[in-house]
A and B are shown apart, each in its own frame.
Chain A
Amino acid sequence: EPEVTQTPSHQVTQMGQEVILRCVPISNHLYFYWYRQILGQKVEFLVSFYNNEISEKSEIFDDQFSVERPDGSNFTLKIRSTKLEDSAMYFCASSADSGGTQYFGPGTRLLVL
C-alpha cells in the first residue's frame, strides 16, 4: 500500500540554525500539507500546498517557514532560523483530491536546543 514517507525521523539542532524536513507524498497525490504537534498538545495545521503554491497557511507559519516541491516527488518544509518553541513532531500529509482523505507520514521529531 502506498504511504507517505518522511526524513529524517529525528533531528536535533541548535537555536538559530536552519533545518529542512523532507517528505515524499503518495505518488499520484496533488495536495500536500504540513502539520505539527508540540509534545502533549494537539496536532495543528501549518500549511497546505497545491499546484506549486501555498493554498492556505496558519498564523504559526510565519516568515521563518517556507515550503517547496523541488522535484516531482519531494515536498519540503524549511525553518530558516529555529527557535526553542519550534521543537515538535512535524507531520507531512497528502491527498488525491481537495477535501479528500489526508494520509499522514510517520513524522519528524525536531528538537531545538
Chain B
Amino acid sequence: AQSVTQPDIHITVSEGASLELRCNYSYGATPYLFWYVQSPGQGLQLLLKYFSGDTLVQGIKGFEAEFKRSQSSFNLRKPSVHWSDAAEYFCAVGASGGGSNYKLTFGKGTLLTVNP
C-alpha cells in the first residue's frame, strides 16, 4: 500500500527566506504526486502535481517541486516566502486500488509559520 511521510510537523521561516518542505513516498509503481495547501478553515487547494516527464514541476504562487525517484522524494520549494504563504501543506500520492478511480493518500502535513 502507498504511504506518504512528511518529516517536519512545523516549520517557521522569516518572510523573504527560502523554503523547502520535505515529502517522501512509498509506492510500487510510478506515482502521481501532488502538493495541496490548506489555509485555516479552508479547503484543499492544489499547488502542483507530477504525473510524468520533467521532474521539476512549477505550480501556483511561485512554488515548485522536484521528483527524485532514487530518493522517493517530492520536495516543495519556494525561493522567497511571503506572509500569505502561512498555511498547512500536504503532500499526496495518487494510486489506483484496482478500481476506476485513483485515491489520494496524504501525509500528515507540515504547518508553515512565517515571521515578519
Binding site for B on A (CB under 8 A): 31, 33, 35, 41-45, 48-51, 55-56, 58, 91, 93, 95, 98-107
Contact = CB atoms under 8 A, between A and B. Distances in A.
Given A91-B44, A107-B43, A55 B108 contact: no
B98 A56 contact: yes
Given A48-B101, A98-B101, A106-B42, A43 B96 contact: no
A106 B49 CA distance: 20
Contacts of A44: 106
Contact of B104 (A41, A55, A102, A106): A102
Nearest to B4: A42
Contacts of A99: 32, 51, 94, 96, 102
B42 A98 contact: no
Contacts of B90: 42-43
Nearest to A100: B102
A50 B43 contact: no
Nearest to B42: A106
Ranked nearest first, the 10 interchain pairs of A and B with the lowest CB-CB distance are A55-B99, A48-B101, A106-B43, A104-B44, A56-B99, A56-B97, A43-B106, A55-B101, A45-B103, A99-B102
A33 B99 CA distance: 13
B103 A41 contact: no
Contacts of A41: 108
A104 B39 CA distance: 13
A102 B37 CA distance: 13
B4 to A, nearest CB: 9
B104 A42 contact: no
B63 interface: no
B82 to A, nearest CB: 22
A45 B43 contact: no
Given A42-B90, A98-B96, A103 B101 contact: no
B100 A98 contact: yes
Most buried by B among A33, A48, A103: A48
B43 A91 contact: yes
Contacts of A55: 97, 99-101
